[in-house]
Chain A
């Protein structure tokens, strides 16, 4: 297939996944605030910190208060990773590959965009008077993922779409764990209290993981939550699961047998997968959770770079 078409499908799926996950991150933070002891000021800075676009934010908005952060992440058409910008980008990508994707995918995406585009016009205050808006985004995100899975042949377009989705999802799961890191507890003594436990449960819920976690581990134990969201091989939003699938699809595209690699994307993905598969939650926490997540995000970016170079930005030797 054409490189441009592969790239558009990859980004279309990444952007939809990103919009869905930004909504999930906001949900985590809203729930943290709801659980806070009375009299504590609301923490919105963590949401800005994890985007790694904090400098851009400060220049436009100044202090990270509630409305500013919500506007930044949902309604801001100038910010490339706000929900509305993600959906616009996803739709633009879809428009350029309509002869390749299924009618159902196009219709789902088109309605997703049109509805959110209309909703964000009312501004963050009205939008967040309840969590309906966030729930609607998760709903559409799930619908889109379902369309991708049920209407596309398991051929290159589907593999590239899934790759975009999985890489974005792994990255965002790692960032949601970072929210917990940036969200300061009132004091060190609060570690392990009901407040702390509530926060971990919120984190799981926003990843649609609470029930699956309970079935596997029962009680909320921080180590186990870290293990579940990072190292679980079977939960679809867990980082290891995402990376394992991504590696599989890269091999399906190239035809190289698993356990070997034929290009840098496969090599880097395989390295990340091996690292996750052969480490433990205790190891991760000992070295520092935030530091681990930081390194993971960096390595994942390098996988994205490799996919770009190998499949999208093909240049003939010595060409202009």
Chain B
């Protein structure tokens, strides 16, 4: 029923050494180009080097058992039996030093700020379209553009309250933004639980390493939500809205509700009457003021969006428009995480903030441009081609890993619907060591930090490091055989000044 992802590990009594650790020409997060641990990881590696492989494997198993008992599992959609799997976890943490984190934090705050201004603009004056910084036809043709949201004014004009931004590092060490997730980014529960499990199965690693805490996330999330409550309400009530137990992120929905101490509701628990949203309780109806919805726009309100939705609440949008309930994230934010729109984020930052982007984008070919399309079709075997509006790594082509007939077939698909595709050069994603085959081996990783936009913008010091556990694979999504690692952000040393200044 439940797969054990490390059955392939074989216990061995040899001491772990890095002498035969191969960098293979990639940037490694933990080990420097000279084969020595990077400064931020030195203490960690010293401790690991003192252990035997068998010891490491037994800690790895202990961590996995803990995940299973806690029921930290996800469901795989394509699997007919609805198999539950634990999210594979590697116990060697990935460490980020304070200075680099400061840079990332600044870059993310800048980016979220600009994206929020963009979404507000799109549903109001559309200045950025009128001045042709972003081609209007691109936005109005985006599947995630919601005409129903035009003219809406969410509380404090904040649209994207909870964001998860995917970052990747290339061979030369530059950190790029790969993707903005402005709808319902998931994974933050793993960040918190991974840390907790690491602390209980591997306490010795934490000694004397100044690691910034991630455990206050649920409290900050609750503050962010309550900040949105309609004015003048005593003790506003927030809830988490889930599509239900069959959703792949159900564990996270249940976890966040439990950690915040709020109700976890489904669409059928909510009802609109007397101009408010209420939940059905055994003591009658109770008013709901803020909904952290983990249901896509399309399914939120059958009266306004998809009429066949069983997951939403009829009449919800009416109440929302009247300002009597707040939704996080606001409906319509998806327009800014379309992968074609992504290409314009640096231009947005310039347009709204007058600044250069601190974190660069990955160079992106937009297939709707004729010259880009021609280039993509000619070089498809070297590129990663992605649909503009899918997530989870579904429906994409990794050129270098595909056969030439697969590439040709994909090129045909792109030609039929160029607006729906973008292409990017295949990045040499950085790697980090994982436990495999009796030793430490490098595997490709990315990083998803989580950002909360409430009274101010908060970047959780850490994030989800996803790792492609299959050797050579570049796809880190959990639905495609990816796992995760605990991510340590080191605290500033006192001489570096204020850690949270932006």
Binding site for B on A (CB under 8 A): 1-4, 6, 92, 95-96, 98-99, 106-107, 114, 156, 160, 253, 311, 314-316, 318-320
Q: Is the CB of B282 within 8 A of A3?
A: yes
Q: Determine if B254 is an interface residue (Cβ-Cβ < 8 Å).
A: yes
A104 to B263, CA, bound (A): 21
Q: Is the CB of B284 within 8 A of A314?
A: yes
Q: Is the CB of B281 within 8 A of A1?
A: yes
Q: Determine if B268 is an interface residue (Cβ-Cβ < 8 Å).
A: yes
Q: Indicate whether A320 sits within 8 Å of B314 (C-beta atoms), given known contacts A3-B280, A99-B258, A314-B280.
A: yes
- Closest-by-CB residue of B relative to A159 is B282
Q: Is the CB of B271 within 8 A of A2?
A: no
Q: Determine if B264 is an interface residue (Cβ-Cβ < 8 Å).
A: yes
- Closest-by-CB residue of A relative to B303 is A320
Contact of B263 among A2, A156, A311, A320 (CB under 8 A): A2
Contact of B282 among A99, A311, A318, A319 (CB under 8 A): A311
Q: Is the CB of B278 within 8 A of A2?
A: no
Contacts of A318 in B (CB 8 A): 273
Contacts of B434 in A (CB 8 A): none
Q: Determine if B142 is an interface residue (Cβ-Cβ < 8 Å).
A: no
Q: Is the CB of A253 within 8 A of B282?
A: yes
The 6 closest A-B pairs by CB, nearest first: A316-B273, A3-B280, A314-B280, A99-B258, A95-B245, A96-B245
Q: Is the CB of A314 within 8 A of B285?
A: yes
In the complex, which range does the number of interface residues on chain B fall in?
A: 20 to 34
Q: Is the CB of A99 within 8 A of B285?
A: no
Q: Is the CB of B71 within 8 A of A156?
A: no
Binding site for A on B (CB under 8 A): 1, 69, 71, 244-245, 250, 254, 257-258, 263-266, 268-269, 271-274, 278-282, 284-285, 314-315
Q: Is the CB of A106 within 8 A of B269?
A: no
Contact of A4 among B71, B254, B269, B285 (CB under 8 A): B269
Contacts of B268 in A (CB 8 A): 4
Contacts of B258 in A (CB 8 A): 99
- Closest-by-CB residue of B relative to A96 is B245
Q: Is the interface of B mostly helix, strand, loop or mixed?
A: mixed
Q: Is the CB of A316 within 8 A of B271?
A: yes
Q: Is the CB of A2 within 8 A of B269?
A: yes
- Closest-by-CB residue of B relative to A315 is B271
Q: Is the CB of A114 within 8 A of B245?
A: no
Q: Is the CB of B285 within 8 A of A316?
A: yes
Chain A to chain B contacts (Cβ below 8 Å), 20 pairs? A1-B281, A1-B282, A2-B263, A2-B265, A2-B269, A2-B280, A4-B266, A4-B268, A4-B269, A95-B250, A96-B245, A99-B264, A160-B282, A314-B285, A316-B271, A316-B274, A318-B273, A319-B272, A320-B314, A320-B315
A95 to B264, CA, bound (A): 13
* A105 vs chain B, min Cβ distance (A): 13
- Closest-by-CB residue of B relative to A160 is B282
Contacts of A107 in B (CB 8 A): 69
Contacts of B272 in A (CB 8 A): 319
Contacts of A314 in B (CB 8 A): 280-281, 284-285
* B349 vs chain A, min Cβ distance (A): 40
Contacts of B273 in A (CB 8 A): 316, 318-319
- Closest-by-CB residue of B relative to A106 is B71
* B75 vs chain A, min Cβ distance (A): 10
Q: Is the CB of B281 within 8 A of A3?
A: yes
* B230 vs chain A, min Cβ distance (A): 20
Q: Is the CB of A156 within 8 A of B282?
A: yes
* A156 vs chain B, min Cβ distance (A): 6
Contact of B280 among A4, A92, A95, A253 (CB under 8 A): A4
A172 to B122, CA, bound (A): 62
Q: Indicate whether A98 sits within 8 Å of B280 (C-beta atoms), given known contacts A2-B269, A114-B1, A316-B285.
A: no
* A292 vs chain B, min Cβ distance (A): 33
Contacts of A311 in B (CB 8 A): 282
* B257 vs chain A, min Cβ distance (A): 6
Contacts of B274 in A (CB 8 A): 316
Contacts of B314 in A (CB 8 A): 320
Q: Is the CB of A99 within 8 A of B254?
A: yes
Q: Is the CB of A92 within 8 A of B245?
A: yes
* B255 vs chain A, min Cβ distance (A): 8
A98 to B70, CA, bound (A): 11
- Closest-by-CB residue of A relative to B273 is A316
Beyond known contacts A2-B263, A2-B281, A319-B272: 18 more, CB 8 A cutoff: A1-B281, A2-B279, A4-B265, A4-B266, A4-B268, A4-B280, A6-B282, A95-B250, A96-B244, A98-B71, A98-B254, A99-B254, A160-B282, A311-B282, A314-B284, A314-B285, A315-B271, A320-B314
Contacts of A319 in B (CB 8 A): 271-273
* A213 vs chain B, min Cβ distance (A): 37
A156 to B266, CA, bound (A): 20
A175 to B314, CA, bound (A): 43
Contacts of B264 in A (CB 8 A): 99
A319 to B245, CA, bound (A): 27
- Closest-by-CB residue of A relative to B239 is A2
* B274 vs chain A, min Cβ distance (A): 8
Contacts of B282 in A (CB 8 A): 1-3, 6, 156, 160, 253, 311
A2 to B266, CA, bound (A): 10
A98 to B272, CA, bound (A): 26
* B305 vs chain A, min Cβ distance (A): 17
* A132 vs chain B, min Cβ distance (A): 22
